[in-house]
Amino acid sequence: MINIIGKRYWFFLISAIVIIPGIISLIVFGLKPSNDFQSGTTMTLTFKPTVEESALRQSMTAAGYQDATIQHSSSGDFYISIREITPDERVTLQNDLQTSLKSTLTVDNYATTSAAVASQTVRYAIIAVIVAAIFIMIYISAVFHRMPRPTRWGICAIIALLHDILVVIGIFSILGWVLGVKIDALFITGMLTVAGYSVHDTIVVFDRIRENIIKGNNKDFEQVANFSVNETFVRSLNTSLTVLFVLFALFLIGGSTIHYFVLVLLIGVITGTYSSICNASALLVVWENHEWRRFISWIPGVPKNKKPEAA
Amino acid sequence: MRRRENLLFLFVLILLILALCIVLPVNQGLLFHKDFQLGLDLKGGSYLLYQADLSKKDPALSDAQVMAAVESKIERRVNSTGTTEPIIQLQGNNRILVQLPGVTNSSEAISAIGAVGLLEFKQQQLDSSGNVVNDANGQPVWIPATALGSDGTTQEALTGAYLKPNAYVETDSSGKPEVAFEFNTEGAKLFGEITQALLNKPLGIFLDGTLVSQPTVEAVITDKGVINNIPLDQAKILVNQLNSGSLDVPLTVIQQTDVDATLGADSLRKSLTAGLIGIACVALFMIVYYRLPGLVATVALGIYAAILLAIFKLVPITLTLPGIAGFVISTGMAVDANVLIFERMKEELKRGLTINKAVQEGFHRAWPSIRDSNMSTFITCIILYWFGNTFGAFMVKGFAVTLFLGVAISLFSAITITRTFLTQLVNNGMMKNLTMYGEKKHD
């Protein structure tokens, strides 16, 4: 049996190392909204014959779009991001580009969103996240209502969930300023799926702890928790592996539309598995042993706690 | 007990055969001849969200009446363009969603659908001495051409509303396209009076405020007329607008997404390949790690996929790229229930239970975990569906639907199919060797 719970502070440290850079990036750079959440127009263009990026940039400026963001992808097409334009402006722009570049263009992808729709999407996304959080919390407390102190289990599962969300958001914030990755409606979808998956994974472990407590062979919570984590260890890994297989396949060859959506899920499943094995039950133990008192023992009136046996 | 299990086994077999009949491309005529319904991101097309300016509506009508009228007119316009399986939906109280599969890169057709299409007949304004009044740019000022209506009291402005819905494109004597139209009775009366008044003077024909043609009236005309000097593609659009009637309120495009059909086909091919490779990896892993139960789980996975695809076809569920991702991910998750059960079985075997007992205990004890853990996925799926549905994000909705169905069917597959198969194998004494369960023989 591996002493996973005993090394809990090491695991908390690893989580912190992953999360803190992401949070810093989030505070400093934030997230890059796509035009699901911000008004604007994006398009993916292919030219026949192909054109130089600098030439395209010049033509865009000549057509009156000095602020255009232009990215050249490896497959030879151009991703252009500009302000929101009308259908008529689009026709003019396409004609201008074809004339000035002497090349025929194909629009592979075109998306335009007005400010009204964008702000509405933001509002609904926020509502969706909040409603999901509330329902998951209610559900978790319902599942563990037979346990002594059901809220404690619920809160630990939620902390593990927040951990997973923070890891994904942090990484995407970093990807945002390094690679220009943007946040769209599918990102929110991925995040909510990750939330569901994280809880799913945690519940399997918690369920086992509950079962072992009811059996009552061992009175020491820490040992029961560690035993349960070990018992479910193979299952947690195997389940994640099967999901990761399909996600990796989709990530590598599934096409560009869902590339980053799958990346959200990929990171989410990995961190979800990690947090359910290494963090969620460990947090329960920390709480059960009142170990947090160790860290705030300098506050007068807080009773000193004995050092945990295994650390 | 035995009898019940045999019945279940039979049930699963029948289900599989039914599912295969529906899904497999061979024998298409066998059951429910239907194709998979693909979303715009997979077959290419335009997604348009229009917002209506209800402040410009006729105050006598309610918002809902106006929107319903606009919707049916848009529907007529879209249908006459020959688009296959378009989707036209009202969203909220002032928006219209239009999905045009296969239509891309044609902004003109798209703006034509949303344009008001108001045809007006105007005359040049004259001053008291009968000279044409010019605006600041030296252009003549046009005012609506009116005539006394058939009620004999009100001056009616002549517009496209007085046309019969049978306008068509024809070519004039020199082979140029022109739009021919016919007035209804009231229109004919008005036009007669107007042409009488404007003899040898220009008549301005305006579409949505733009002058398209200004013929000089040479005779009193009542029944019909033509609009010439118009390019062929615009002529077709105009005919479409005249026949569907002008929209009651102006519309603006507030969201548009176009996907090229080639890109869509490419995405479909890529995601399917990725899905197949992923599922093959899962199957391989399950068989190598769990041996016989793994093989059974893989068979169950195959049945699961067949049933799910049959449901996609029958309902039908519109498949989108994230939807396919949801389906593929759900197969990964479908295995999860099996993993839980098999791990339980192994534990029970370790405790020294017989294979028979271990199979039963494994299923029995793993069930609460499976049920509890999948519930959270259901909750997120329902919220995602609402999120996707509220603002028309068909990709989000597609993902939520397929993931939900996938997880639901996976529960059924893990509990019913895997269990039935394993029990059959064990009961028939075919599998006595413990190594087939990936477990060492115990002494």
Instruction: Please write the tens of the pLDDT for every residue from A150-166.
Output: 778 888 888 898 899 99
Q: Strand, helix or coil at B182?
A: strand
In this complex, the residue of A109, A242, A253 whose CB is nearest that of residue B282 is: A242
Q: Which pLDDT band, with edges at 50, 70 and 90, does B437 fall under?
A: low
Instruction: Please write the tens of the pLDDT for every residue from B350-360.
Output: 888 887 888 88
Residue B196 pairs with which residues in a beta bridge?
A: none
Residue A146 pairs with which residues in a beta bridge?
A: none
Q: CB–CB of A107 and B104 under 8 A?
A: yes
Q: In one letter, which amino acid is B325?
A: A
8 Å CB contact between B96 and B54: no
Q: CB–CB of B379 and A135 under 8 A?
A: yes
Residue B316 preceded by cis peptide, ω within 30? yes
Q: Is the CB of B75 inside 8 Å of chain A's CB atoms? A: no
Listed in sequence order, the residues at least 6 apart from A76 whose beta carbon sits closer than 8 Å to its beta carbon are A46, A50
Mean pLDDT, to the nearest integer, of B375-380? 85
CA separation for the pair B195, B333 (Å, rounded): 75
Q: Which pLDDT band, with edges at 50, 70 and 90, does A51 fall under?
A: confident
Q: Which of A185, A213, A168 is nearest to A122 (CA)?
A: A185
Instruction: Please write the tens of the pLDDT for every residue from B75-97.
Output: 888 877 777 778 888 887 888 88
CA separation for the pair A93, A100 (Å, rounded): 10
Q: Strand, helix or coil at B200?
A: coil
Could you tell me the fold of the domain covering A5-34+117-295? Multidrug efflux transporter AcrB transmembrane fold (1.20.1640)
CA separation for the pair A161, A178 (Å, rounded): 26
Could you tell me the fold of the domain covering A40-113? Alpha-Beta Plaits (3.30.70)
Q: CB–CB of A203 and B373 under 8 A?
A: yes
The pLDDT, as a whole number, for residue A22 is 93
- How far A164 CA sits from the closest chain B CA (Å)? 15
| pLDDT beyond 70 at A65 | yes
| pLDDT beyond 50 at A50 | yes
In this complex, the residue of A91, A111, A238 whose CB is nearest that of residue B256 is: A111
- What is the torsional sign of CA B276, B279, B285, B288? negative
Restricting to B residues 105-164, those with a Cβ less than 8 Å away from any Cβ of A are 105, 107-108, 110-111
Restricting to B residues 7-66, those with a Cβ less than 8 Å away from any Cβ of A are 41, 49, 51
Tokens 């969201």, located at residue: B255
Q: At what angle do helices A150-179 and A259-274 cross, to 10 degrees?
A: 140
The pLDDT, as a whole number, for residue B2 is 65
| Range of lowest pLDDT (A14-23, A163-172, B149-158) | B149-158
Both structure tokens of A107: 């629009």
The pLDDT, as a whole number, for residue B106 is 58
Chain B residues in contact with A76 by the CB 8 A cut-off are: none
The pLDDT, as a whole number, for residue B184 is 84
CA separation for the pair B331, B301 (Å, rounded): 7
8 Å CB contact between A112 and B253: yes
Architecture of domain B2-39+260-437: Up-down Bundle (1.20)
Restricting to B residues 377-406, those with a Cβ less than 8 Å away from any Cβ of A are 377, 379-381, 383-384, 386-388, 390-391, 393, 395-396, 399-400, 403
In this complex, the residue of A90, A135, A143 whose CB is nearest that of residue B107 is: A90
pTM beyond cutoff 0.90: no
Nearest CA in chain B to A141: B372
CA separation for the pair B71, B340 (Å, rounded): 51
Tokens 């569906």, located at residue: B385
Q: Is the CB of B237 inside 8 Å of chain A's CB atoms? A: no
In this complex, the residue of A131, A231, A255 whose CB is nearest that of residue B266 is: A255
8 Å CB contact between A183 and A37: yes
In this complex, the residue of A124, A193, A242 whose CB is nearest that of residue B380 is: A193
CA separation for the pair A251, B75 (Å, rounded): 39
Mean pLDDT, to the nearest integer, of A288-307? 66
Q: Which pLDDT band, with edges at 50, 70 and 90, does A296 fall under?
A: low
Both structure tokens of B1: 């007990």
Write down the mean pLDDT value for chain B. 80
Distances in Å between the Cα of B90 and the Cα atoms of A32, A66, A254, A296, B74 are 31, 37, 33, 58, 11
Q: CB–CB of B396 and A189 under 8 A?
A: yes
The pLDDT, as a whole number, for residue A309 is 47
Q: Which pLDDT band, with edges at 50, 70 and 90, does B33 fall under?
A: low
Q: In one letter, which amino acid is B202?
A: P
Contacts by A259-262 with C-beta closer than 8 Å and gap 24+? A260/A172, A260/A181, A260/A186, A260/A187, A261/A186, A261/A187, A261/A189, A261/A190, A261/B322, A261/B325, A262/B325
Q: Return the H-helix or E-strand segment holding A40.
A: strand A40-48
| pLDDT beyond 60 at B27 | no
Instruction: Please write the tens of the pLDDT for every residue from B288-300.
Output: 888 888 888 888 8
Instruction: Please write the tens of the pLDDT for every residue from B214-263.
Output: 888 877 777 777 777 777 777 777 787 777 777 878 888 888 888 887 77
| pLDDT beyond 90 at A234 | no
Q: CB–CB of A107 and B258 under 8 A?
A: yes
Q: CB–CB of B339 and A238 under 8 A?
A: yes
Distances in Å between the Cα of A181 and the Cα atoms of A266, B45, B153 are 16, 25, 66
The pLDDT, as a whole number, for residue B333 is 77
| Range of lowest pLDDT (A180-189, A193-202, B387-396) | B387-396
Q: CB–CB of A192 and B339 under 8 A?
A: no
CA separation for the pair A114, A38 (Å, rounded): 8
The pLDDT, as a whole number, for residue B108 is 59
Instruction: Please write the tens of the pLDDT for every residue from B94-147.
Output: 888 888 887 765 565 666 777 777 888 888 888 877 777 888 887 888 888 888
Domain ranges of chain A: 5-34+117-295, 40-113
Q: CB–CB of B329 and A242 under 8 A?
A: no
* ipTM of the modeled complex: 0.80
In this complex, the residue of B260, B376, B395 whose CB is nearest that of residue A200 is: B376
Instruction: Please write the tens of the pLDDT for every residue from B307-349.
Output: 888 888 888 888 888 888 888 888 877 777 888 888 888 888 8
The pLDDT, as a whole number, for residue B443 is 41
Domain ranges of chain B: 2-39+260-437
Q: Is the CB of B260 inside 8 Å of chain A's CB atoms? A: yes
State what percent of residues in chain A have pLDDT above 70: 94
Q: In one letter, which amino acid is A281?
A: S
Q: Strand, helix or coil at A144?
A: coil
Phi/psi at A223 (nearest 5 deg)? -70, -40
8 Å CB contact between B49 and B254: yes
Nearest CA in chain A to B270: A254
The pLDDT, as a whole number, for residue A16 is 93
Q: CB–CB of A254 and B270 under 8 A?
A: yes
The pLDDT, as a whole number, for residue B238 is 78
CA separation for the pair B288, B282 (Å, rounded): 10
In this complex, the residue of B260, B273, B387 whose CB is nearest that of residue A107 is: B260
CA separation for the pair B384, B202 (Å, rounded): 59
8 Å CB contact between B295 and B418: no
Q: How many of the other CB atoms lie within 10 Å of CB of A134?
A: 12
Contacts by B343-349 with C-beta closer than 8 Å and gap 24+? B343/A232, B343/A234, B343/A235, B343/A238, B345/B293, B345/B437, B346/B437, B346/B438, B346/B439, B347/A231, B349/B434, B349/B437, B349/B439, B349/B442
8 Å CB contact between A242 and B336: yes
CA separation for the pair B336, B329 (Å, rounded): 11
| pLDDT beyond 80 at A281 | yes
Instruction: Please write the tens of the pLDDT for every residue from B39-75.
Output: 888 888 888 888 888 887 778 888 888 888 888 888 8
Q: Which of B3, B11, B96 is nearest to B412 (CA)?
A: B11
Write down the mean pLDDT value for chain A. 84
Distances in Å between the Cα of B17 and the Cα atoms of B24, B31, B186, B418 are 10, 11, 65, 17
Residue B122 pairs with which residues in a beta bridge?
A: B144, B204
Q: CB–CB of B281 and A36 under 8 A?
A: no
Instruction: Please write the tens of the pLDDT for every residue from A257-280.
Output: 788 899 999 999 999 999 998 999
Q: Which of A167, A212, A232 is nearest to B347 (CA)?
A: A232
State what percent of residues in chain B have pLDDT above 70: 91
- What is the torsional sign of CA A245, A249, A252, A258? negative
| Class of residue A210 by CB neighbours under 10 A (exposed 0-12, middle 13-18, buried 19+) | buried
8 Å CB contact between B302 and B287: no
The pLDDT, as a whole number, for residue A311 is 40
- How far B37 CA sits from the closest chain A CA (Å)? 19
Listed in sequence order, the residues at least 6 apart from A50 whose beta carbon sits closer than 8 Å to its beta carbon are A76, A103
CA separation for the pair B284, B294 (Å, rounded): 9
| pLDDT beyond 70 at B28 | no
State what percent of residues in chain B have pLDDT above 90: 0
Mean pLDDT, to the nearest integer, of B5-30? 73
Q: At what angle do helices A185-215 and A150-179 cross, to 10 degrees?
A: 150
